[in-house]
Structure 1
Amino acid sequence: MRILFTAAPGYGLMLPIVPLVWAARAAGHEVLVATTAEMTDVGARAGLPMVDVFPQHDVWAELLRGIGSDGESPVLERLAAAKGLSEEYQKASQAGNPFGLFTLTMTEGTIDAGRAFGPDLVVHTTDHVAGRLVAAALGLPVLEVGNRISWSSRDADFRAKTEFYGDDEITLALRAKLDIPDGPPRVFARIDPRAPSMGGLAADEPDPQDGIPWWPMRFVPFNGGAVVPEWALRRPERPRVGVTLGTVVPIMTGTSNLSVVIEALGGMDVEVILAAGKTDLADLGPLPANVHSVGFLPLSAFLPTASLMVHHGGSGTTAAPLHYAVPQLVLPAFADNPMSAQRVVDRGVGLSHDPATADVATVRAMAERLLTEPAFRTAAREVSEEMATQPSPHSVIERTIALINQ
């Protein structure tokens, strides 16, 4: 079988489905992943066949540049005008709607790639409308995959605020321009990858609105590949604490929050692993002796030997410590970060604090609680064990293919 996977071009938006793509390929199916920008290289390094559906333009970089300039990106604006979609672009920009911009820029290329590849099935992430539109354009069945630990379109409160499966002005304009038939594609199942005690499923459930079945699936973390350093394989002599703000937060808000965290942890008897990627750390000054800056290092390289993870609340960054039974301190930034933080607090696997009001004493006190009070580690272990009992990506692929072949 030939399977087209589609996802938006952000680390936290595409990387969660990589294990599912691996499962399909390992089962002998032909796969192709349609995305754009830096994610094409990231996916290729993960051993996946990729296609860039918006080549020669870094939509992710343009999106971030636009957010930094009142939502306007001259490059994207010119491209939208060339496609006769200026009005839709302006509305998406003014509303701060990155997913609308992904839909505008990626749908046509994804349809073209789909026609060339000839898939039997489209697998798209819930937040990537281009995948839904390509399936409708090509008349293909869909497996929809949730890629968040923070929310799912299954959630009643989410549904109450969002008409997620209807057509907005952008999708209506694209349907007309690209001659996409009206109506949704044939979705035979939707995936919720969360543990049941964190909003997920213990067993299959029909969607209360359209009857489409929801399936549970185990979250398998993928943060990229790396040569694992020798120190990461050893249990440290003192508690190991990971720190990251992801790839977007430093661009948007700088390193002021990171400065507070580093000063707080620098005064504790812990080993700090600062995974700051490409972030410029010059403003932090000299790092404390117990802080090791490792640039980009996948969280899964050191989480098995960690005692605490301090982070911004990105969905993938929240889910990975759950897999490894590591308590968390979440300083949520924006987007769905506060939702991730709330789930962490509600389940008792960690603590959270508004980064705008977090000071050194507060962060240090919260970190000490998470390292010394056994309830947090116990709760994290419970969730990890719960996740391990959920269906694997491989079993979801097998079930999917069996249904299509009926």
Structure 2
Amino acid sequence: MRVLFSSLSAYGHFFQLLPLAVAARERGDEVLFATGEVRHSLLSQLGLTPVVAGRSTDEVVGEAVAAVRAKHPDFDELPQEQTLELISTKFSRLMPQAFVDALLPVFDANRPDLVVHGGYCPGPGLAAAVAGIPALCHGTGRARADNDEIMARSVVVLRDYAAELGVELPEAYPTFLGNTYLDICPPSMQNTHFLATADRVELRPVPFNPPAELPGWVLTRERDRPLVYLTMGTESDSVEMLRHAIGGLSRLDADVLVATGKLAVEVLGEVPDNVVVESWVPQADLLPYTDLVVHHGGNGTTFSAMSAGRPQLFLQNRPGPDQLLNAEMVCAAGAADRLLFEEVTAEAVATRARALLAEESRREAATAIATEIAGMPSPEATAALLKSFT
């Protein structure tokens, strides 16, 4: 069977689909993966056939901003909420269209038996609908409420574009296109309305990173005090946020490992003795050695920390909807705390992190989430079901 997976190239979306794609390839399926070229080297290493599709989020956001500026000369004076709405609306057309335009010729030349598209990447699913190919929607996190403001705005644009393609979207959760949904969210933490109404297949979220070695000191360190892992994601450029977080975490009787993502390590300057700064670490491999994860709330880090059973401290880095949703979800389960953007200071980070490390109830809640996740069907078991959807 030939299966085409497709997602945004952003780590929090792309990495969520890889465990199932690899499991399908290991079963003997021919697996193609359509995403931005930045991920193609890794796909080839994993034995998956890369296909060029979509565009980088930064590129599409840039085009959306330029288009909005051209229509609104007073753009810089508009309230932030309004500018975000205008940009989001334009983005909601540009990104799906990029995938449709790229994939329809691919389907003509190398037609797959099944398409699996990311939850908030409807373009590949629309292309599959146009071509008459069965499709599944692979979740990347908790399903947003149908009446969520951001969803409502994007859905209007998506419906118009789908109508141009001759595709009719369902009334409920139209972004998922009515396809069977591979749900990586533990049922106890999922949107209750979605649980009651959606055509779901549970799928265990599995932390994933490219093959790499952990820093040697992580493996050899004495475990007599906690290890705190700090990341603001691979795309963050907020030096100030990292400095506040480092300033707070360094006050703890703990070792602190910081991953700077796209920021150069040097921009942080000199750090306290109990802090080690790396540009990147293999996060999935690191998490079993950690005692607390402090981060921005991206899907990849949130669900990886949940799977590892680690308490989390969320620091709102920018007005990202997924980040806020993830923080609310894990906090409600008792396994996390959070600080909004305006609340983040070194003192606040130290206070919240110290409490998370000290409170047994937080660790118990995190362990309960991990236990629930471990009981969900594995990617290997789910890969065995893919044929039934063709």
Q: Normalization by structure 2: what TM-score? A: 0.85
8 Å CA contact retained: 1:193, 1:219: yes
1:138 equivalent in structure 2: 131
Native 8 Å contact 1:122 1:142 kept in 2: yes
Structure 2 Cα separation of the partners of residues 228 and 354 of structure 1: 31
The Cα offsets for residues 251-302 of structure 1, whole Å up to 9 and x where unpaired, read as xxx2111110101112222111111123134443211111111211121121
1:297 correspondence with 2:281: yes
Candidates 200, 207, 211, aligned match of 1:225: 211
2:23–2:379 CA contact under 8 A, matched in 1: yes
CA–CA separation in structure 2 for the residues paired with 1:127 and 1:266? 37
Quickly say closer, same or farther: Cα 1:278–1:396, change in 2 above 3 A: same
**8 Å CA contact 1:200, 1:216 repeated in 2:** no
Q: CA deviation at 1:308?
A: 0.3
Alignment CA distance shift 1:65-1:46 (3 Å)? farther
For 1:40, give the aligned amino acid: H
Would the aligned equivalents of 1:4 and 1:114 in 2 still touch at CA under 8 Å?
no
**Structure-2 separation of matches of 1:273 and 1:329:** 15
Picking from 293, 306, 314, the partner of 2:298 is 314
Aligned to 1:373: 359
Q: Is the partner of 2:234 in helix, strand or coil?
A: coil
Deviation string, structure 1 residues 183-242 (Cα, Å, up to 9, x no partner): 3599662122111221179xxx9863xxx6211111111133312333333463321000
Where structure 1 has 5 or more consecutive residues not aligned to the other structure, the ranges are: 78-90, 176-180
Alignment of 1:59 onto 2:56: yes
Call closer, same or farther: CA 1:36–1:268 in 2, change over 3 Å.
same
In 2 relative to 1, CA 301–64 (structure 1 residues): closer, same or farther, beyond 3 Å?
A: farther
**What residue number does 2:186 align with?**
195
Aligned partner letter, 2:286 = F
SS in 1 for 2:342: coil
* Aligned partner of residue 8 in structure 2, secondary structure: coil
| 2:256 matches 1:277 | no
> Larger deviation: 41-50 or 10-19?
41-50
User: Given that residues 226 and 291 in structure 2 are in contact (C-alpha distance below 8 angstroms), is that contact kept between their aligned partners in structure 1?
Assistant: yes
- 1:95-134, aligned counterparts within 5 Å? 95=88, 97-134=90-127
Q: Spell out the pairing of 1:66-215 with structure 2 (5 A cutoff).
A: 71-72=65-66, 94-95=87-88, 97-148=90-141, 151-152=142-143, 155=145, 157-158=147-148, 162=152, 164=155, 167-173=158-164, 175=165, 181-183=166-168, 189-199=180-190, 208=197, 213-215=199-201
CA distance in 2, matches of 1:169, 1:37: 28
Please tell me the residue identity of whatever aligns with 2:168: G
Verify: 1:248 aligned to 2:239, yes or no.
no
Amino acid at match of 1:260: H
Q: Judge conservation of contact 1:233–1:302 (CA < 8 Å) in 2.
A: no
SS of structure 2 residue aligned to 1:268: coil
* Counterpart amino acid of residue 248 in structure 1: E
Per-residue deviation, 1:108:
1.0
The 3 A distance-change label for structure 1 pair 234 and 389 is farther
Rounded to whole Å, the distance in 2 between the matches of 1:248 and 1:156 is: 28
Determine if the alignment matches structure 1 residue 266 to structure 2 residue 250. yes
Report the residue type matching 1:168 in the other structure: R
Q: Is the 8 A contact 1:191 1:216 kept in 2?
A: yes
Flag structure 2 segments of 5+ consecutive residues without an equivalent: 71-83, 171-176
> Judging changes above 3 Å, is the alpha-carbon distance between structure 1 residues 36 and 224 closer, same or farther for their aligned structure 2 residues?
same
RMSD: 2.9
Aligned residues: 366
Q: What SS does structure 2 have at the residue aligned with 1:272?
A: strand
Identity over aligned pairs, percent: 28
Between the aligned partners of 1:331 and 1:156, the Cα distance in structure 2 is 26
Alignment partners' CA distance in 2, 1:146 and 1:30 = 22
The 2-side partners of 1:191 and 1:284 are apart by 40
Distance 1:8 1:217, change over 3 A: same
